[in-house]
Amino acid sequence: MNSKNRFILKLLLTIEFVLLNLVLILFLYFRLDEFSFSDPVFLKTLIPLIVIYNLCWLFIILYIRDKEFYFNPEYSSLRSILTSLFFFVGLVISFVILFQFRNFARSNFIIPIFIFSFLDFLSHKFLLNFLKKKGSKLITNTLLIISAQEVNKLNGFVKDMAQYGYNVVGCLEDGDEITGNNKKLKVLGHIEDLSQVLNKNTVEEIFIATANLERSKIRDTITLADNFGVRVKLIPEHPKEFTHNYKAITFGDVAAFKLRKSPLDSFNATIIKRLFDFWFALTIILLCSPIYLFIGILIFLDSRGPIIYAPYRKGEAGKTFRCYKFRTMSVCDNPLDGTKSTEINDPRITRVGRLLRKSDLDELPQFFNVLKGEMSVIGPRPHRVNLQKDFRKSVSDYMVRSYVKPGITGWAQVNGWRGPTVTDEQKKERIKHDLWYIENWSFWLDIKIIFLTLFGRHHQKAF
């Protein structure tokens, strides 16, 4: 799942949960004359009821609802709504009986579910169509690699792709020139021109839509796309010849195979990781608020300058964002174009800054980046803008790490590959660990990394 689909999913799910809670509260408020927010008896019943409704709906999203419901405006969502409605009623009634809610009549538990399901159906249809048609920033720009012999077969495929939010910016020819009536797609060059095309155009995904392309050319295309952070989908007869890690997805009658498949691409993983990130970050911020205040006072008293240093960093899909840190230096690099890495016994580091760096407390403000959705608790560390260019020259598949959100800590860090990256070994090992994490993610792996970050002892291999 790319970053734009994640945004659409987050927006639609947020609307669903807001709608669910509004329907439940307003229904009880207008249906029950004795309902009052100031009555502790009703609040004691209402709060557990809200928790039950939300947990039941989350379970339905993760395990019952069709995933295509959230991304395809042409999808028959009525069946998904009815299936979800059936399970929603069953789950809520089961919990009502289990926990013996006697304050409300049974119909008062069921009617809000029907109202919500109807409004969810209407709002979803309207919002998804609006996002796909009007939200140009949510469209995924796609490049096709195609042969003249197969171009007619894919006319319907290109049309179906548009329903999923894909915009075909053009195609690259493989073999004979695409001419005459076949030339319905904008031809940007030949397959050998891929590097120049990616440099000149904003392309986020490539579809290799020719079964006759030589294996060596396919591998070269995948390698080059990795270097640009562009995902590749393949439409051959035998995808296993090129990767052990693939997943079939359909566009109309055509199946495509996603390369560089990560568990984080899945629908369930996207929701679980974002929920964990949000609540974990919010908990840390609330529990550590006195520490934030105390550190801020120490920095203010120790040296002149701002308390927070917010340099620009590269995040998911190559997006630039401001990464919050407690200021640890008396003189900081330019937030956008800074190029000077921290050195051993760096004279710029303040007394308080040295303590913060040693304990990693200077990274605490990044939990606000997590709340904003710019970072994750666990993931590859975000790099400076200029450092990304340097890494791309040294490590061919470096940009693959931009498929996921950067993290406050990560698999590379708990394995000792942290700090400045000077040698080729340091660069390659950090990226190798980042890519391993992307390809092997699990919720329990995130928990393990948090545990190792807090209690593990890692030697500093960076110096």
Helix residue spans in 395-423 (DSSP H): 411-414
Return the H-helix or E-strand segment holding 12: helix 3-31
- Tokens 């949960």, located at residue: 17
B/e letters for 284-316, b = 16+ CB within 10 Å, e = fewer, are bbeeeeeebeebeebbeebbeeeeebbbbbbbb
**Cα–Cα distance, 454 to 417 (Å, whole number):** 16
Mean pLDDT, rounded, of the chain: 80
Pairing of strands 308-309, 325-326: antiparallel
Please answer whether residues 335 and 386 qualify as being in contact, where contact means their C-beta atoms are separated by less than 8 angstroms: no
Q: Place 239 in a pLDDT band, splitting at 50, 70 and 90.
A: very low
- Point out the least confidently predicted range of 42-56, 192-206, 332-346, 443-457: 332-346
**Cα–Cα distance, 402 to 28 (Å, whole number):** 46
Helix residue spans in 288-407 (DSSP H): 289-302, 351-359, 366-372, 385-394
**Cα–Cα distance, 17 to 320 (Å, whole number):** 30
- What pLDDT digit, counting tens, does each position of 7-57 carry? 778 888 899 999 999 999 888 878 776 666 677 767 777 788 899 999 999
pTM of this structure: 0.78
Predicted pLDDT of residue 428: 84
| Residue 98: pLDDT over 70 | yes
- What pLDDT digit, counting tens, does each position of 135-164 carry? 555 678 888 888 766 666 666 677 767 767
Could you give the domains of the chain?
Answer: 3-134 (no CATH), 139-261 (3.40.50.720), 267-455 (no CATH)
